[in-house]
Structure 1
Amino acid sequence: MSLYTVYVTTFYNYPYNPDATTQHEDKEVKIVEVDAHGTTVLALQPPFNCTSARIEAHYDRLGNDNFTNVMIYSSLYVEAGKSPSNSFLQLLADNEGAVDVGKTLSFSLKATETLTYVTYQVMSRSAVLLSQQLSVHSDHATISFEATSLMAPKSRLVVYAVRPSNGEVLVDALDFEVDGLFQNRVSLSVDRQSAEPGQPVKFKVTADPDSFVGLLAVDQSVLLLKSGNDITPEMVESDIEEYDSTGYANNDFRAWEAVDRRKRRSIWHPWWGVGGKDAASIFQNSGLVVLTDAYLYQEPIQPIILESAMAFDGMRGAGAPPPSSLETSVQVRTRFPETWLWAVAVASE
């Protein structure tokens, strides 16, 4: 087999049967090859009446294709969407990767029935940047708009429609990336690479007119930690993404996954991402509050008690010490007070 071989196991689950001693589960195994970048596309066709699927990918980095006892693997949980009429929307991005500011973003929308109108909204940093209604009169449509700097580095597209027959709200959401967060091109140069104490050093900063410029010099003792002491573009992008309004409904919690995460080394994404298992949770996970007299379906919470789900701190015996008392943490110095802000200025014309 190829050095880049991944062992993929998919477990399909079906409606819960309280009268059965064990729940029915199907298993499908595939061995796939990934490219030099470690990626591949996995196509799955869930069985009819399947309620959820758990996908596990195992990789043997030694290249021996020994997948029985490997430490490198990832898991993903996918649950079927819920609708009383079995009606859904599906939103797909036509662009691959991030799109530059000024370029056109395009998305394909598919529906399980013919729709008259759809409404789409673009959200970024907890604000609605664009809201439009589109006449479709079809079961598919294309949504396109121009990428702006306010959409960088990441935005969300939410599309919804109302079924005329029963007033049910259909909705889907998708995140997309935009390059062009930094519109001001800043450069810095210095007239000498080294200087003796008391010698003048001249800095030249080039930026847009009226830009607020700050110069910061850091003592070399900060280099003890090697990294994490500078403001980088990645740090700024990460900070801006904290303004995302994504939320997760309480009934999205699954206790068996919480236990799984404690005992497995896996890469876990948010359970629902931007989507959800019903229309109400998709809106909530997208950070939107809905006020409507239409039928916004939300699946009732199904109580499930699992023995394995009792492995939490709240179930410790009375004589057991808390986990924190058995752990010692090493305090690493991360703050160095010997830093100076030299000067601030406003760029001229």
Structure 2
Amino acid sequence: SFMSACFSREVLSAPNLLRVETTEVIFVEVQDYVQEDAIPVQIKAMNYPMKTKALASTSVTLNKANNFQSFGKIQIEATDFSKDPNRKQFVYLQAQFPNKLLEKIVLVSFQSGYIFIQTDKSIYSPNSNVMYRIFAVSPGMEPQTNAVVDTEIVTPEGVTVQSDWNTLRAGLGYSSYRLPEVVSFGVWKIVAKFRKTPQESFTFEFEVKEYVLHSFEVTLTPGSPFFYVDSEDLTVNIKAISNFGEAVDGTAYVLFGVVQDGRKKSFPDSLQKIKILEGDGVARLTREQITQTFPNIAELVGSSIFVAVSVLTKNGGAEMVESELGGIKIASYPYTILFRRTPKFFKPGMPLDVTVEVVNPDDSPAPGVTVVVDPGNMEAVTSENGIARFSINSFQSSQAVFIGAKTKDPKIPAIRQAFASMTARPYKTKSNSYLYMSLDSAEVELGGTIKVDLFVGRQEREHRYITYLILSRGQLVKHGRYQMSGQMLMRQSLPVTKEMLPSFRIIAYYHPNSEEVVADSVWVDVKDSCMGSLSLEPVRPAAFYAYRSSFSLKITADPEATVGLVAIDKSVSALNRKHRLTQKKIWDMVEEYDPGCTAGGGEDGMHVFYDAGLLMETGTVPGTPSRTDFQCPTSSRRKRATTLR
């Protein structure tokens, strides 16, 4: 009977934020169970604090065939909760085993999916029609069929001028708004909410201004994304290309300046006239041109340089196109070092994987930079993504360890090299037991394989199994168990599937005894890509298409996919490229809602789960702390803003 398995350990784990209107995956298992009997487990979500109503329930059976571990799926309805966005609401999550009830109080999230909005243009003039398409998906990135989405059009002054709603078909909806003749210029917003969960909103932007369409486009590209205080000059490449892809000849009038405290001030000495030949020209801002207006460049650190260019051409008639580039930061140091992907805790006697990010002043990756890390005086060169990885040999210390990193760029004086430090603290364990995970790569690709090394201490070699969970987008997507077989090191391979986009966490754990859970976790970034496939090509390719003529496109996509198309005037898109919906913006928003807070690891076994965004309860060991906030502490947050610009 189940009663006879006196050393078996029941386990309950789930996301520590349970989303309403979402299929949530709950993990249950029994470890070290030596009998053959199947074990029924009832999983429930109960109302809090009264515990008088089952909000959702399911049952699973643990048996030898599934290694006595399984996922159960439940869905909590939004109608059981208040719609007050400022009120924190909870449920009891229960797993009823034959002999034991495991229970946790869990914070409820009203982020029941993602809404993305695509406008037909990124810039509009007065009295034009703003057409937009609504995409809505579940946390699992499946289309939200029959979902009702409410939208509002909001002016730059914050005034709502239209409220609308859409019942989506296959996750898609459409709407429009006619701008009046007299209209506020600036950045407008479309605010979207799921009707069932209005507590969470999604914001998207478009620009309104008077504009004139031109026959050619001017693109400005800085030679460097920043101006370093010791630099002698800054170059900006000017490219003038017609809407049909032909190079344009003409003259460029250029003026540089600085944006300081939100105000623009030009450098009068930088005014210059440049020939544009075969579409190309180069403007140059010198150090002297800056010091004529600001003798002490150091006072401008933190401000940004802008360049305004007007290109006059006589190709087929005189025409002038203006373009401006800003945001070129003035910086004291060319690089910044970050430890955002390095765990803050180490296991005594085991290596610590240190991941150093080197970024330019505009936060772009800095590849090819030599970095020196102490202790160990180890050197490595950053890759294309600005990352250098080190493995610091074991610390036997039970005290905190200071880790320092500095750049070693021969072109920069020692006083200008970047330096950063962090303190790693020892993992806390009652039984001197440890588990350490290491990866063969910092970034993986969809369809690839990641190799995971698991190290255990000498005392743990007799324990038979390590359980692992994979968490992505706040949902459990995979579970499994590794047999230890007495060795200290195990190497396992995991395939990277679409459920793991755009990043995922691996959490591994075991019980060294009845009083402790030993765990470790790693965060893995997946290279941005589509979850499915899509290609577009003309049925009959041609060099050009006649005005008002029609042509056919061949669309290849996954079976039963719904594809939305939009035709964009190239001369309009050239005026504003900020507000386009891109794959990167989609994954950035998804990452923002990741409930995990750190790059991996934790203070002790239960904090490994908590920091990864999971709850854990075993009945014999005190479980994870109860989560009371949707957001992570600012110091540990590595995500980006949600607004799509």
**TM-score (normalizing by structure 1):** 0.59
- Compare relative contact order (CA 8 Å, sep 6+) and give the higher one, 1 or 2: 1
Q: Which residue of 2 aligns with 1:34?
A: 381
Query: Would you tell me which structure has more helix in proportion to its own residues?
Result: 1
Q: Which residue of 1 aligns with 2:583?
A: 233
Q: Which residue of 2 aligns with 1:89?
A: 435
Q: In structure 2, what is the Cα distance between the partners aligned to 1:33 and 1:127?
A: 35
Q: Which residue of 2 aligns with 1:284?
A: 610
The change in CA–CA distance for 1:57 and 1:294 in structure 2 (over 3 A counts) is farther
Tell me whether 1:173 sits opposite 2:521 in the alignment. yes
Q: In structure 1, what is the Cα distance between the partners aligned to 2:378 and 2:480?
A: 44
| Deviation readout 1:99-120 (Å, 9 max, x if unpaired) | 442x554322111222222111
Q: Which residue of 2 aligns with 1:224?
A: 575
Is the partner of 1:176 in helix, strand or coil? strand
Is the partner of 1:133 in helix, strand or coil? strand
Contact kept in structure 2, 1:89 and 1:172, CA below 8 Å: yes
Q: 2:424 aligns with which of 78, 91, 95?
A: 78
Contact kept in structure 1, 2:376 and 2:392, CA below 8 Å: no
Q: 2:565 aligns with which of 190, 194, 215?
A: 215
Residue correspondences, number:
251
| Deviation readout 1:183-224 (Å, 9 max, x if unpaired) | 323223375565565343443333334321211123433322
Q: In structure 1, what is the Cα distance between the partners aligned to 2:449 and 2:387?
A: 27
Contact kept in structure 1, 2:404 and 2:419, CA below 8 Å: no
Q: Which residue of 1 aligns with 2:254?
A: none
Q: Which amino acid aligns with 1:106?
A: K
Cα shift at 1:87? 2.0
The 5-angstrom pairing of residues 17-32 of structure 1 reads 30=377, 32=379
Q: Which amino acid aligns with 2:560?
A: D
**Over aligned residues, Cα RMSD in angstroms?**
3.6
Is the partner of 1:157 in helix, strand or coil? strand
Cα shift at 1:141? 3.0
The change in CA–CA distance for 1:84 and 1:239 in structure 2 (over 3 A counts) is same
Q: Which residue of 1 aligns with 2:415?
A: 68
Contact kept in structure 1, 2:442 and 2:524, CA below 8 Å: no
The change in CA–CA distance for 1:186 and 1:241 in structure 2 (over 3 A counts) is farther
Tell me whether 1:51 sits opposite 2:400 in the alignment. yes
| Deviation readout 1:165-199 (Å, 9 max, x if unpaired) | x5211000112345664332322337556556534
Is the partner of 1:56 in helix, strand or coil? strand
Q: In structure 1, what is the Cα distance between the partners aligned to 2:422 and 2:439?
A: 21
Q: Which residue of 2 aligns with 1:134?
A: 482
Q: Percent same amino acid at aligned positions?
A: 22
Select between 34-43 and 168-177 the one with higher mean Cα deviation. 34-43
| Deviation readout 1:214-250 (Å, 9 max, x if unpaired) | 111234333223x334333323333343442214xxx
Q: In structure 1, what is the Cα distance between the partners aligned to 2:517 and 2:380?
A: 40
Unpaired segments ≥5 residues, structure 1: 11-27, 248-271, 300-333, 336-349
Q: In structure 1, what is the Cα distance between the partners aligned to 2:623 and 2:472?
A: 26
Unpaired segments ≥5 residues, structure 2: 1-367, 626-643
| Deviation readout 1:18-54 (Å, 9 max, x if unpaired) | xxxxxxxxxx583736378676554544463431324
Q: Which amino acid aligns with 2:567?
A: A
Q: 1:205 aligns with which of 539, 542, 555?
A: 555
Q: In structure 1, what is the Cα distance between the partners aligned to 2:408 and 2:521?
A: 31
Is the partner of 1:274 in helix, strand or coil? coil
Q: Which amino acid aligns with 1:119?
A: T
Q: In structure 2, what is the Cα distance between the partners aligned to 1:88 and 1:143?
A: 18
Q: In structure 1, what is the Cα distance between the partners aligned to 2:490 and 2:376?
A: 35
The change in CA–CA distance for 1:35 and 1:199 in structure 2 (over 3 A counts) is closer
Is the partner of 1:285 in helix, strand or coil? helix
Q: Which amino acid aligns with 1:30?
A: N
Tell me whether 1:244 sits opposite 2:594 in the alignment. yes
**TM-score (normalizing by structure 2):** 0.34
